[in-house]
A = this chain, B = another copy of it.
């Protein structure tokens, strides 16, 4: 198994991490995900880590990387299902996952993604209107 499947659901991509992310697997996931975002014009990426009970600095960095990569391709990333012990470890490792949005479970994550995407679109509309109105 050297690939983590990426599921497409409309404008979202869903990734469930169930195995330890060793180097090659993590790099494959990064590459696959970026390609999928590009190919499907996805607006959001949902990463479920509810099966991950042990986390290290490598995995923390990978999640941060994926979020940053998606962001510059105009897709938001939400990490869902983090176990309390994982949250403790991440903070103790000094990895507060900056720039990564989190939600308690899949449904809340999906709602968060939807609201973020809607507000981005609203902002874009507002900016345009503001540009039209500014005459200074």
Q: Is the CB of A5 within 8 A of B51?
A: yes
- Residues facing B in A1-54 (CB within 8 A) are 1, 3-5, 7-10, 14, 16, 18-19, 48, 50-51, 53
Bound Cα distance from A107 to B7, whole angstroms: 9
| Category for how many chain A residues contact B | 20 to 34
Q: Is the CB of A107 within 8 A of B19?
A: no
Bound Cα distance from A4 to B5, whole angstroms: 14
Tell which of B4, B8, B105, B106 touches A105, judged by Cβ atoms closer than 8 Å.
Answer: B8
Closest-by-CB residue of B relative to A105 is: B8
Closest-by-CB residue of B relative to A3 is: B51
Bound Cα distance from A1 to B48, whole angstroms: 15
Q: A1-B51, A51-B1, A51-B3 are in contact. Are A106 and B8 (CB under 8 A)?
A: yes
A21 CB, nearest partner CB in chain B, Å: 12
The 3 lowest CB-CB distance pairs between A and B, nearest first, are A7-B106, A5-B51, A16-B16
Contacts A5-B16, A5-B51, A7-B48 supplied; 4 other A-B pairs, CB < 8 Å:
A3-B51, A4-B18, A5-B18, A7-B16
Provide 21 A-B residue pairs closer than 8 Å at the C-beta atoms, listed in order of the A residue: A1-B18, A1-B51, A1-B53, A3-B51, A5-B48, A5-B50, A5-B51, A7-B16, A7-B48, A7-B50, A7-B81, A8-B105, A8-B107, A9-B107, A9-B110, A14-B14, A14-B106, A16-B16, A16-B18, A18-B18, A19-B19
